[in-house]
Structure 1
Amino acid sequence: MGKAKQIVKNFTKYNNLLYELVKKNIKLKYRRSYLGILWTLIEPLLTMIVLTIVFGTFFNKGTKQFPVYVLTGRLLFSFFQSATKAGLKSVSGNASMIKKVYVPKYIYVVSSVVSNFLIFLISLVVLVGVAVVLKVEPTIYLSQAWIPLIILFVMSLGTSLILATLSVFFRDVEYIWGVACMLVMYASAIFYPVEKIIKSGKGWVFNINPVYMCIANFRNSVLYGVPMNMQYCVLSAGIAVVLLVIGMVLFYKKQDDFILYL
């Protein structure tokens, strides 16, 4: 309990620094772009158009809401990918600051994930616009859409803490994680329907992928207007909490050694 209180106390003490780091991360992401943060809206829209044109030919089957299907998967996976990749580099990338000034090192990881989450929330404006244009009818289950988003945020934070710790000691983690993200993407049904995969007996791929579980439940709430898959909800939430606990413990135990390897 004492350690938990100390963590909360430190987090409160350095909340202004967290705010500044989040603001800095967002500015750096778009510092040399003429359109700036507008790319948060333009990039997923252009990607959706390309994926719809390419894969819609094979999988669309006449449904006008296929772009929303693609966009929901694309936005959620992109947040997970960008947040974890930024979190992975957050400690090693701030080596000079860590050597000069003492602040809780987890602040750098948290700021990376939070800044990407804020960018993701802004990009949801595109999803709303596309859904309105394609006449996706909102239902009462839309109120559940925030649940898979919070689960995905916790999952990204836990994964980032683990990756940030490992990357200090093993720089190859960055390249390994790039390949792992590619595997997760193809197993997340971003641009293809899952029915044929499930019928072929290979649906187990989705049942072990917590990122897909969040995407599926988000689609249920936003696109299909049906209740969330509670099995997916409980399982993905459990995995997210386990990852967060592992990440916190690993980061806490190894953080004093960071200075020797940065």
Structure 2
Amino acid sequence: MKNECLWKSLYKYRFLLKELISRDLKIKYRRSFLGYLWSLMNPLLMMWVLTLVFSYIFRFDIPNYPLYLIIGQTIFGFFSESTTVAMMSIIDNAPLLKKVYVPQFIFPLSRVLSSFVTMIFSLIAILIVMLITDVPFKLTLLALPLPLLFTLLFSVGVGMLISAVTVYLRDVMHLYSIVLTAWSFLTPIFYPISIVPANIRWVLQYNPLYYFIDYFRQIVLYNTLPNVQTTVFCFELSIAAIVIGAIVFNKLQKNFLLYT
């Protein structure tokens, strides 16, 4: 999957990509009374419940805990949802692949992008929490697209990788939910980094989502701009995921039709 071919395919099939994203969004909210409002209400309701539990029962002493929590929820929730739906994208679209030629990477990509659209609506929930908790809106917010882009690219890479592997090994469907559960507990979504024992804190250094969430929090919660080194490192993580995902996908896609 050479870069030139990839971009040519994206441009050539851009209308199909748009239709696939639209289809996924319609299916997700089909027969739902509130529809897209769930993208706003779900993170707010979850934040409210978890804030009650961890602020008053476990008493995590984190300044502006609701905002701290909803940022972690939003980023990890997007990654979890997008990669989970991308995982089944090739298998779900096998009938179409057998009838007409379509670049196969379009399917995991469309699933991740449809989840990204949903997450954009969830950002309204973060703005609401900022207003309620009197967090000032400063120019640092202009850097917000950066952590969103890093998370998107990383999710696309992981989505392509596991969608390709799942075609050959269906056990991945069951294993991945366990991986995500473990991953969520190894990511400081609802707890402060300070409670992580020093002897195992090194685990965070190998968790890309920790860096993306922390980047987002620095901009929104602490009104600071991450330094250039942090930005470059996050960019390298996201590009590495895309490259690895594309290589694995390209290597395995030749026999997809034989296993779907």
Q: Same fold (TM over 0.5)?
A: yes
Q: Residues 197-249 of structure 1, C-alpha deviation per residue, up to 9 Å, x if partnerless?
A: 26x34321221110011001100000111221555433332222112111112
User: Where in structure 2 are the equivalents of 1:166-177 lying within 5 Å?
Assistant: 166-177=165-176
Question: 1:61 maps to what in 2?
Answer: 61
Structure 1 pair 120/62, CA: closer, same or farther in 2 (3 Å)? Answer: closer
Structure 1 pair 62/143, CA: closer, same or farther in 2 (3 Å)? Answer: closer
Q: Comparing 112-121 with 245-254, which one deviates more in the overlay?
A: 245-254
Question: 1:242 maps to what in 2?
Answer: 240
CA distance in 1, matches of 2:166, 2:179: 15
Runs of 4+ in 1 over 4 A off after TM superposition: 229-232
CA distance in 2, matches of 1:187, 1:180: 10
CA distance in 2, matches of 1:74, 1:8: 32
Which segments of 5 or more consecutive residues in structure 2 lack a partner in the other structure?
none
Would the aligned equivalents of 1:213 and 1:233 in 2 still touch at CA under 8 Å?
no
CA distance in 1, matches of 2:178, 2:199: 25
Structure 1 pair 61/10, CA: closer, same or farther in 2 (3 Å)? Answer: closer
Q: Residues 56-92 of structure 1, C-alpha deviation per residue, up to 9 Å, x if partnerless?
A: 12234384x2100100000000000001001111111
The aligned length equals 259
Alpha-carbon distance, 1:6 to partner: 2.5
| Partner SS state of residue 59, structure 1 | coil
Q: Residues 164-189 of structure 1, C-alpha deviation per residue, up to 9 Å, x if partnerless?
A: 10000000111111111111111111
CA distance in 1, matches of 2:180, 2:7: 31
2:218 equivalent to 1:215: no
Structure 1 pair 202/230, CA: closer, same or farther in 2 (3 Å)? Answer: farther
Question: 1:206 maps to what in 2?
Answer: 204
User: TM-score normalised to the size of structure 1?
Assistant: 0.94
Structure 1 pair 195/168, CA: closer, same or farther in 2 (3 Å)? Answer: same
| Partner SS state of residue 259, structure 1 | helix
2:7 equivalent to 1:16: no
Structure 1 pair 132/193, CA: closer, same or farther in 2 (3 Å)? Answer: same
Structure 1 pair 104/83, CA: closer, same or farther in 2 (3 Å)? Answer: same
CA distance in 1, matches of 2:122, 2:185: 22
CA distance in 1, matches of 2:62, 2:241: 40
CA distance in 2, matches of 1:5, 1:202: 43
Would the aligned equivalents of 1:214 and 1:233 in 2 still touch at CA under 8 Å?
no
CA distance in 2, matches of 1:147, 1:62: 25
CA RMSD of aligned residues (A): 1.7
